Chain A
Amino acid sequence: SQQGEEDPQALSIQEGENATMNCSYKTSINNLQWYRQNSGRGLVHLILIRSNEREKHSGRLRVTLDTSKKSSSLLITASRAADTASYFCATPPRSFQKLVFGTGTRLLVSP
């Protein structure tokens, strides 16, 4: 069963604009992670936010977590064409150690 669901499924913006992707999950978590996947490649870990954190920054990335709403958002500021990729949220349900991935948001950044 799918634990995380990203929204929107696809997002198209211009370079310089901000991109916001959302993730909703179903069960309690101890952390939530965001990954990036370029077409035909493996996933790359971007950022991990723990359940007791509300916001975290890494370069142009800003992640928020609202455990009461079981949701997270990933903001990419001042986007670049090189940010074009699919972005996935992933959560480890408390009773398991393995990550469960969402269906991803496909981001297209046009020059």
Chain B
Amino acid sequence: DGGITQSPKYLFRKEGQNVTLSCEQNLNHDAMYWYRQDPGQGLRLIYYSQIVNDFQKGDIAEGYSVSREKKESFPLTVTSAQKNPTAFYLCASSISPQTGELFFGEGSRLTVL
């Protein structure tokens, strides 16, 4: 079945450590996105990529980094520079940036201890 797979589902990190969240899709979608969701709030865009080897900052990119070396993969690294990293992270993809309809993974919950 086609879809988006995020891993790990739960992750604990000590302060000062970098962590990488995985996002893989087999939908052959060009565009991929990372969102952050805090309790009781909407989604905020971290980074997005419209095509392989290209990505743009979203609204809250500080303290995060991404890569898009393959069409299927869009990993997100939460660096130690991110001051408040505890959150629920959602990866999504769309056929193209113009279509808009997003397909989401199940999310990764990061907790900083």
A-side interface residues toward B, CB under 8 Å? 2, 4, 31, 33, 35, 40-45, 48, 88, 90, 92, 97-104
Contact = CB atoms under 8 A, between A and B. Distances in A.
Nearest to B106: A42
A79 B41 CA distance: 24
Given A97-B50, A97-B97, A98-B48, A43 B104 contact: yes
Contacts of B31: 97
Contact of A40 (B50, B58, B107): B107
Contacts of A98: 33, 45, 48, 58, 97
Contacts of A90: 102
A82 B11 CA distance: 28
A43 B100 CA distance: 14
Interface string B99-113: 011111111010000
B91 to A, nearest CB: 8
A44 B103 CA distance: 7
- Give the contact-size bracket for chain B: 20 to 34
Given A40-B107, A92-B100, A101-B43, 11 more contacts: A31-B100, A40-B109, A42-B104, A42-B106, A44-B104, A45-B103, A88-B42, A97-B100, A98-B33, A98-B97, A101-B35
A43 B58 CA distance: 19
17 contacts: A4-B42, A31-B100, A40-B88, A40-B109, A42-B92, A44-B104, A45-B101, A45-B102, A48-B100, A48-B101, A88-B42, A97-B31, A98-B58, A100-B45, A101-B35, A102-B42, A103-B42
